[in-house]
Structure 1
Amino acid sequence: MGEGQGEGFLREGLFLAPLFGSATGDGFGPDSDVDLVVEFVPGTRRGLFEFVQLADDLEAIVERPVDLLTRRSVERSHNPIRRASILGPARPLYRRAA
């Protein structure tokens, strides 16, 4: 991801955006979407509009559909298999410097 894009994510309060799903394995192809779990800087509050705008911005960058989940929503899932299948193999795409 380019440096300019990372700066934009900093303005949005994005802290971490790991990839999961087909984008992390051999099943990723030209018709695949990109699945991301996003985590925001603690204390940063984002509403639905900003979340949808972030998804749109990411789609423009990667030039394919993007499915966004928040880490908090995945961690709160009552399905341990779902949690493990998303968070276990996730690979960082973007991480804000400490």
Structure 2
Amino acid sequence: MHAWGGSTRKQRLPRTWSHLRSQVMRRDAYTCQINGPDCVRVATDVDHIQRGDLHELDNLQAACKPCHARKSAREGVQGRARRAALRLRPAERHPGLTGEH
């Protein structure tokens, strides 16, 4: 399965995505803006800086594959942890219970 497997991300991109992507790549001179530990500097991807579906130029940056993959994996782990924390939240006590029997 590829990285997009099970994701609806591609369907949520705006019709103008290819134009936005070109603008970002030119603006950032095809240079990775993340510059992580395994960075190869040559950008091939466009990354959303803040998670979500805000497709404005201020929220997009050019990224190399290793940096984009690392950032996406980290965000995925954080998202799963947030969802797990919500599932593990202790049940609320009934307001009429005082703890005395």
TM-score range, shorter chain: under 0.3
Structure-1-length-normalised TM-score: 0.24
Question: Relative contact order (C-alpha < 8 Å, sep 6+): which is higher?
Answer: 1
Greater C-alpha radius of gyration = 2
Structure-2-length-normalised TM-score: 0.23
